Amino acid sequence: MKVFDLAIIGGGLAGCSTALHARKKGASVILLERGRCGGQASGVNYGGVRQQGRHPAELPLARRSRGIWGNLYALVGCDCEFIATGHLKLARNDGDMVDLVAHQAIAADHGITIELFDRADLRRRFPYIGDRFYGASLCAEDGQANPRLAAPAFARAARQLGAQVQEECPVEHAVLSPFGFEIHVTGQDTPIRAHRLVNTAGAWGANVAGWFGDSVREEVMAPNMCVTEPIAPLIGPNLGICGGGIYIRQASGHGSIIFGSGVGTADRDALRARPLAAVTMDAAKAAIDMVPALANVLVVRSWTGIEGRMSDNLPVVGPSPTVPNLYHAFGFSGHGFQLGPAVGAVLAELAIDGGSPTCLAGLSMTRFAGVPDPAATSPPANKVQPKGKGNDTDEK
Amino acid sequence: MRDEPPIVVVGAGPAGVSAARTLVGAGHRPILVDEGMFPGGQVFRRPPSPLQQSDEKLYGFDARRARRLHDEFAALLPSIVYHAETMVWAVESNLLHLARGDKTTCQPWKRLILATGAMDRIVPTNGWTAPGVVTLGAAQIALKAQASIIGKSVIFLGSGPLLYLVAYQYARAGARVVAVLEAGRPFQRFSDLPALASGGATFARGVFYIAWLKAHGVPIKTGIEPLEILHGSDGRTNGLRYRRKGQGRETILSCDALAIGYGLKSETQLADLLGVDFHFDPQQRQWLPTTDLDGRSCVDGVYLAGDGVSIRGNQIAAIAGELAALALLSDMNGSEAPQAGSLRREISRARRFRRALDSVFAFPTDQLKTLPDEALICRCEGLTAGAVRDVVGLSGESDINRVKAFSRLGMGRCQGRVCGPAAAELIAAAASTDILHVGRLRGQAPLKPIALATLAGGRDEGI
């Protein structure tokens, strides 16, 4: 009877990265994906690779992920079109500038350099930005990548190292048995068995967690995004705005402008998500406001995808509070693309080595009411209560 | 009837106008939305008044039908709400999003008849993006709407009845038709003749065009494999290199313009966005919205008619438009119109002729197998046939949406409307799989490119 060292449910970027990193540690790995790897949120997101503006609880993961993004070619044989275009966050008023200064200090603690611009600097350095903005902060090492390539590249690399990556393979149920985890897959009589289980099931992650009594509420969101025809190089860094809202980048090398704000509709059970025309129209207006030169550029497509969202807009990442050898990483709330590579590295370390050097404080499922917290009696090191402030929800 | 839930007809070609007429006849006041400047669709397109010509000159044998459509429309106009030059850029379960000029507006709908027509189907040939190369449809637009021709000496390349019609129209308009080069071998099998003859007047007209062209010394060659569209130092096309299929000897013809078309492709994005079921039609070799004979789709309140459902030409389109409107009325009122039966029989009768046409002018799948690697397949994204074959080979993927994700195929301005059919054939050949497994590109709003400023302009109450 074959028992894998590690089984992974969900072939998004986090799951595929887990498979690759665990396989590199020599573990026997099986990944089960209902559709195609990267077919959901990992493959249809905005493509921002951003540390700036993240909640402090995410920064250690974001920092580690940035290191992986910069070395993708060596890791997966493809750079996934990653390029450090920088990320520029615009302030609308004095209050926003205060937030940017505060975030600069927090980011510096994590080794992230952020440069501040006042109004005059902003005009000079980024003359294409609408003139209503008050200032900005730039994280030069942030950037962008092509989401359609990333998860499949990790899956391919994992497969080449001998991981079993099974696509079109929906998991119906999983239970803990005397033989470890038993995973029941559609169309197969015998369950797949593994000593450890990683749940990277995205918007369906809470459902998988629920099979083991780890009960938490996960909503869905469908970021409404648009892309234009290619135009000559115009925008350097990816653009965001304090407090969230419109985000814009120009695809490096290709020239199309990708922008979004607001959400479309998503039906998690029907696997169906649609952008909304009214949201697209509002986004177009906000995009012109941010970069007036976009007014006459043609939008060629709008789209969205099904993304899991937690009530505090932070993902669940870490060991199950109740079941040994079970690890969760889902509900990325729009942040999963940048974080994905590091999440996989960390989950592989937790599952195979029993620990990770990357701090996950504040991301455990135990932060939610009703979830038992076995660490409650120990010092509350991992109980940082996240706050929404300064955390862009929709810019990956 | 003032407060009745809105019935909207999209498209003012033969199907849309006929549907609107039927609805008006039943006492309704439909809203008719059309991209064209004037009603008539592609087939009965009218020039702006300074360029007006006689119907006989514009439409030839179809002049009477064209005049009837335009007269009918003029009579209908007081009884309908008509939005010309208006694009549907998005559709939701009860709302159409319209754009005219640089303004947008919303149109609520309760029942919808989609008569969205068709566009040229393209098979890329090496060099096909050179200036001076246009589709057959565009060559006709130049004639009908702009009173001009695409060149002085023109080659007509492709397959299908339209090839001979447009060549004839160009010769009559004073162009030198260098040659008509047909990829199929339509007149090879005598066994096709009875079915073709069942087309009656339509078949007779086709025979007339061919006879006329031959009588006027225009070479008509069949079984052609185009190899390369040539161009001069200015980049403009100046000729074509081709051979007869299965023969080694190549021929070069000079021209200053080239019109290409391999039949028509249904415009189906609206049906796709509405969630209508699709099926692969092996006869027309394309994915088509699924309806019953009357044009009812699986989506409540959504009906389809005309070449947007299946390529059957303008006469059947007009019948289908009436039938779809009758189906809508019968679903509303619960009683079937007496004339529906005879309309269904007319559509069924035309099937034999259409099947024969689709069979003698079959889509040239071989051309995609032999298309050189350096030929562009997706011109919006600058993708060559070789690049697509590489992605198929390296990834092992044959699903067109997966190939799209990896290569940007069909992600540009046309969103696959131009390159889609040929790309699907190319992928099927490269992956050695049936085209059914390649699937179809999924549609997304906007249906056609639209400026940010137009979207940002908000509602315009004036439309």
Q: For residue A155, give the CATH number of its domain.
A: 3.50.50.60
Count Cβ atoms within 10 A of the Cβ of residue A32 and give its class: 0-12 exposed, 13-18 middle, 19 or more buried.
buried
A66: in domain: no
Q: For strand A307-309 and strand A219-221, is the pairing parallel, antiparallel, or unpaired?
A: antiparallel
pLDDT given for residue A379 in this prediction: 41
Residue where one domain finishes, among candidates A307, A328, A361: A307
Q: How far A175 CA lies from chain B's nearest CA (Å)?
A: 33
Tell me the per-residue pLDDT of A290-325, one tens digit each, with 9 for 90 and over: 999 999 999 999 999 999 999 999 999 999 999 999
Say whether B413 and A228 touch across the interface (CB within 8 A): no
Residues A237 and A213 in one domain: no
Residues A327 and A373 in one domain: yes
A68: in domain: no
Residue where one domain finishes, among candidates A258, A292, A307: A307
Residues B49, B352: contact at Cβ < 8 Å? no
Residues A277 and A155 in one domain: no
Residues A214 and A224 in one domain: no
Residues A124 and A228 in one domain: yes
The CA radius of gyration of chain B, in Å to the nearest whole number, is 22
Say whether B451 and A298 touch across the interface (CB within 8 A): yes
Please list every residue in chain B whose beta carbon sits closer than 8 Å to the beta carbon of residue A40. none
Please list every residue in chain B whose beta carbon sits closer than 8 Å to the beta carbon of residue A152. 395, 405-406
Domain limits for position A97: 84-142+220-307
Cα dihedral across residues B207, B209, B212, B216: positive or negative: negative
Low-confidence ranges of chain A (pLDDT < 50): 376-394
Chains A, B: CB pairs < 8 Å: 81
Residues A155 and A215 in one domain: yes
Give the phi and the psi of residue B101 in degrees, each rounded to 5.
60, -130
Residues A233 and A279 in one domain: yes
Say whether A152 and B406 touch across the interface (CB within 8 A): yes
Q: Which of A42, A32, A291, A270 is nearest to A168 (CA)?
A: A32
Chain position carrying tokens 């925008």: A235
Residue where one domain finishes, among candidates A245, A273, A307: A307
Q: Which of A171, A173, A108 is nearest to A137 (CA)?
A: A108
A361: in domain: yes
Say whether B452 and A254 touch across the interface (CB within 8 A): no
A299 CB within 8 Å of a chain B CB: yes
DSSP state of B348: H
Q: Which of B368, B360, B375 is nearest to B421 (CA)?
A: B368
Residue spans of beta strands (DSSP E) within B77-145: 81-83, 87-92, 95-100, 103-108, 111-114, 118-120, 133-135
Q: Which of A313, A303, A358, A317 is nearest to A205 (CA)?
A: A317
Residues A131 and A224 in one domain: yes
- Which residues does B contribute to its contact with A (CB < 8 Å)? 89-90, 92, 95, 97, 104, 395, 402, 405-406, 408, 411-413, 415, 444-446, 449-453, 455-456, 458
Chain position carrying tokens 């906007």: B446
Residues A203 and A106 in one domain: no
Could you tell me which chain A residue has the CA closest to the CA of B380? A229
A60: in domain: no
- Provide the CATH number for the domain around residue A264: 3.30.9.10
Please list every residue in chain B whose beta carbon sits closer than 8 Å to the beta carbon of residue A296. 451-453
A193: in domain: yes
Question: Alpha-carbon distance B210 to B205, whole Å?
Answer: 9
Question: Alpha-carbon distance B336 to B338, whole Å?
Answer: 6
Question: Alpha-carbon distance A377 to A375, whole Å?
Answer: 5
> Using alpha carbons only, what angle is made at residue B235 by residues B234 and B240, rounded to the nearest 5 degrees?
120
Alpha-carbon B179 to chain mean position: 23
Residues A35 and A178 in one domain: yes
Question: Alpha-carbon distance A234 to A191, whole Å?
Answer: 54
A72: in domain: no
The amino acid occupying position B242 is Y
Q: Does the ipTM exceed 0.90? A: yes
Low-confidence ranges of chain B (pLDDT < 50): 1, 462-463
Give the phi and the psi of residue B301 in degrees, each rounded to 5.
85, 0
Residues A264 and A337 in one domain: no
Say whether A295 and B451 touch across the interface (CB within 8 A): yes
Question: Alpha-carbon distance B65 to B61, whole Å?
Answer: 9
Say whether B453 and A299 touch across the interface (CB within 8 A): no
Q: Which of B88, B175, B13 is nearest to B450 (CA)?
A: B88
The tally of domains found in chain A comes to 2
Say whether B395 and A152 touch across the interface (CB within 8 A): yes
Please list every residue in chain A whose beta carbon sits closer than 8 Å to the beta carbon of residue B411. 227, 300-301
Say whether B452 and A300 touch across the interface (CB within 8 A): no
Say whether A302 and B456 touch across the interface (CB within 8 A): no
Tell me the per-residue pLDDT of B351-378, one tens digit each, with 9 for 90 and over: 888 888 888 888 898 899 999 999 999 9
pLDDT given for residue A49 in this prediction: 98
A69: in domain: no
pTM for this prediction: 0.93
Residues A129 and A274 in one domain: yes
A18: in domain: yes
A281 CB within 8 Å of a chain B CB: yes
Say whether B450 and A294 touch across the interface (CB within 8 A): no
Chain position carrying tokens 């195929």: B409
Chain position carrying tokens 């998004």: A12
Q: How many CB atoms lie within 10 A of CB B347?
A: 18
